[in-house]
């Protein structure tokens, strides 16, 4: 019970002390150096994974490329059936995988389960989508001609993911890519390699049971250098990369240099605008969950609250009171609200942010600090902090991946709040709390929020899989998950068929021989 059943979970997911994979194909995790995965929960070594060398990578790519030749010929609804089976397996393994996510990454067990639920949901979505990969038909300008468009798979899709959603982000990509007919090569974050192993084991079981090539789902392990094998590889037409803006700028250039496609899901600097017409109780719940959930390590975490001066003190007091009730500790213990940061490096960045905001003239209303002593041995537990700041502070303009919330004051009209909200480099998630229809509509209008996600009376975090997910500006512009995000995983082809005995040219051009 001390380890909350984590050993049993690891066993059921096939995660061993050293994960080498099998000696062939896509499950060949690697023959390189060992990557050790330490839990931020208790600082213990969980297991080790062999990293992927260039030679290993070549083998994986061969396996993937050859699997594509089989997979693309399978009708899309049959591919959907495989993804449906994968979702069933995830349902079976939900508790174990949720626990591993919580233990390896540090988010609460509830959020770990939520991540696996998101995987199940996107698989269900993808199974339905497999019968709806529609193209349009158009009227040809030429008599006796038919014109339409169709979508074909791209080939090998490279997925690079971040530590904070160690399983869901992969599934957002892979479930759609699979029904589209693509095969996937995944490089999970080097900070959460065991989540990658567990997912790959589950996927492999499904493909094996259906006598399908294992290369449909491939896993490679390592840091940015292993990621670079893919970003530089012309055999990988699409790179879907989730992580920091710093990483996205490098990956975008690498992929563009070979005219490949990239789908980028990068950092956010998300704000909630709180107007005089806001429901304060809802605001506090939304803001606190948004700021401290996943210990502030969601791309959609609430970083800034832009509060009207008339209710500023009231909101501030309510937040300070709410923060007093937060319980920080082992995320597998469901009575705790806030778990650890991913590692000590993240703790240092958190500390730096608190120093920076004070140096720039800010005021800490909830002080924060690093926790030590029993239960906090990993050194990764920090207290969520709240700082009063100015919108233009450098530290406020920057995404600090930790539970630090900045309170900003606005006066006058909602336009002023919208200006503050948009005046950052990032453009992922945004929200307004108001019961005033005019304010809400202005926030959603063409002159409103410039983010990929704009919510009314909901916080910034916790998107549903049915919508397209992603953001503008330095967030990278990519869209994943629901709506028509599937199109990025396919190539569009326009087809014109002449069923006459004449050959009329387009635009009425005459060419008589």
Residue ranges in contact with ligand NAD by CB under 6 A: 160-165, 187, 189-190, 223-224, 227-228, 231, 242-244, 247, 250-251, 265-268, 299, 399, 401, 428, 475
Marked catalytic residue, from 111, 115, 214, 265: 265
Residue 348, both tokens? 């240092």
| Nearer to ligand NAD among residue 153 and residue 268 (C-beta) | 268
CB of 156 to ligand NAD, least distance (A): 16
CB of 28 to ligand NAD, least distance (A): 19
Alpha-carbon distance values, 33 to 19, 339, 454, 469 (Å): 12, 30, 44, 35
DSSP sequence for 431-458 = EEE-S-HHHHHHHHSTTS--SSEEEESS
DSSP 3-state assignment of 316?
helix
CB of 292 to ligand NAD, least distance (A): 16
| Nearer to ligand NAD among residue 217 and residue 231 (C-beta) | 231
DSSP 3-state assignment of 148?
strand
Could you tell me if 355 and 321 are in contact, meaning their C-beta atoms sit under 8 angstroms apart? Answer: no
Tell me how far apart the alpha carbons of residues 406 and 385 are, in angstroms, rounded to a whole number.
9
CB of 244 to ligand NAD, least distance (A): 3
Tell me how far apart the alpha carbons of residues 416 and 191 are, in angstroms, rounded to a whole number.
40
| Nearer to ligand NAD among residue 35 and residue 315 (C-beta) | 35
CB of 430 to ligand NAD, least distance (A): 13
CB of 270 to ligand NAD, least distance (A): 9
Nearest alpha carbon to residue 491 among 122, 237, 234: 237
CB of 199 to ligand NAD, least distance (A): 14
Q: Based on the residue annotation, tell me whether 472 is a catalytic residue of this protein.
A: no
| Nearer to ligand NAD among residue 159 and residue 414 (C-beta) | 159
Q: Which residues contact 82 (CB under 8 A, 6 or more apart)?
A: 178, 206, 207, 210, 212
The neighbouring-strand residues paired with 304 are 271, 406
Tell me how far apart the alpha carbons of residues 249 and 473 are, in angstroms, rounded to a whole number.
11
- Where does residue 473 fall: left (phi above 0), alpha (psi -120 to 50 degrees), or beta otherwise? left
Nearest alpha carbon to residue 200 among 210, 178, 185, 181: 185
The neighbouring-strand residues paired with 376 are none
CB of 417 to ligand NAD, least distance (A): 23
Residue written as token pair 């397209």: 468
Number of H helices, E strands in the chain: 14, 24
CB of 451 to ligand NAD, least distance (A): 11
- Where does residue 480 fall: left (phi above 0), alpha (psi -120 to 50 degrees), or beta otherwise? beta
| Nearer to ligand NAD among residue 182 and residue 399 (C-beta) | 399
| Nearer to ligand NAD among residue 213 and residue 267 (C-beta) | 267
| Nearer to ligand NAD among residue 63 and residue 242 (C-beta) | 242
Q: Which residues contact 193 (CB under 8 A, 6 or more apart)?
A: 19, 35, 37, 49, 221
| Nearer to ligand NAD among residue 309 and residue 484 (C-beta) | 484
Nearest alpha carbon to residue 415 among 446, 389, 453: 446
Torsion of CA 50, 56, 60, 61, to 10 degrees: 140
Residue 106, both tokens? 């540090």
- Residue 54 phi, psi (nearest 5): -60, -40
Query: Would you please indicate which residues are annotated as catalytic (active-site) residues?
Result: 265
């Amino acid at each position: 019970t001390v380890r909350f059943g984590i050993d049993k979970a690891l066993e059921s997911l096939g995660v061993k002390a050293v994960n080498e994979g099998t000696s062939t194909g896509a499950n060949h995790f690697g023959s390189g150096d060992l990557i050790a995965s330490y839990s931020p929960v208790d600082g213990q070594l969980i297991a080790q994974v062999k990293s992927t060398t260039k030679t290993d990578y070549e083998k994986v790519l061969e396996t993937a490329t050859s699997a594509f030749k089989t997979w693309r010929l399978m009708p899309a609804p049959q591919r959907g059936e495989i993804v449906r089976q994968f979702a069933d397996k995830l349902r079976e393994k939900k508790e174990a995988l949720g626990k591993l996510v919580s233990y390896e990454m540090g988010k609460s067990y509830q959020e770990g389960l939520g991540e696996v639920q998101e995987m199940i949901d996107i698989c269900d979505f993808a199974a339905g989508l497999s019968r709806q990969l529609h193209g349009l038909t158009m009227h040809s300008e030429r008599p006796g001609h038919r014109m339409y468009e169709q979508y074909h798979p791209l080939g090998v899709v490279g997925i690079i993911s971040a530590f904070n959603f160690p399983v869901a982000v992969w599934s957002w990509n892979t479930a759609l890519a699979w029904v589209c007919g693509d095969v996937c090569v995944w490089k999970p974050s080097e900070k959460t390699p065991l989540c990658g192993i567990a997912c790959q084991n589950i996927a492999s079981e499904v493909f094996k049971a259906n006598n399908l090539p294992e290369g449909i789902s491939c896993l490679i392990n390592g840091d940015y250098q292993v990621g670079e094998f893919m970003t530089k590889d012309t055999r990988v037409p699409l790179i879907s990369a989730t992580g920091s803006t710093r990483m996205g700028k490098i990956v975008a250039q690498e992929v563009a240099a070979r005219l490949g496609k990239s789908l980028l899901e990068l950092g956010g600097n998300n704000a909630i605008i709180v107007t005089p017409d806001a429901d304060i109780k809802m605001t506090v719940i939304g803001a606190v969950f948004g700021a401290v959930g996943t210990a502030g390590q969601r791309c959609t975490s609430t970083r800034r609250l832009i509060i009207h001066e008339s209710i500023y003190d009231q909101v501030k007091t309510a937040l300070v009171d709410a923060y007093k009730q937060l319980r920080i500790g082992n995320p597998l213990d469901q009575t705790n609200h806030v778990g650890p940061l991913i590692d000590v490096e993240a703790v240092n960045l958190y500390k730096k942010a608190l120093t920076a905001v004070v140096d720039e003239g800010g005021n800490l209303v909830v002080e924060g600090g690093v926790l030590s002593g029993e239960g906090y041995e990993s050194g990764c537990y920090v207290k969520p902090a709240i700082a009063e700041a100015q919108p233009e502070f450098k530290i406020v303009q920057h995404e600090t991946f930790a539970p630090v919330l900045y309170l900003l004051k606005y006066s006058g009209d909602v336009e002023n709040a919208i200006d503050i909200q948009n005046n950052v480099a990032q453009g992922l998630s945004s929200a307004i709390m108001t019961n005033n229809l005019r304010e809400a509509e202005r926030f959603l209008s063409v002159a409103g929020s410039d983010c990929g996600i704009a919510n009314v009376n909901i916080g910034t975090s916790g998107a549903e899989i049915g919508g397209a997910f992603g953001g503008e500006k330095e967030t990278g512009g990519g869209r994943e998950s629901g709506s028509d995000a599937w199109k990025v995983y396919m190539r569009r082809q326009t087809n014109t068929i002449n069923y006459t005995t004449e050959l009329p040219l387009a635009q009425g051009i005459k060419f008589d021989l």
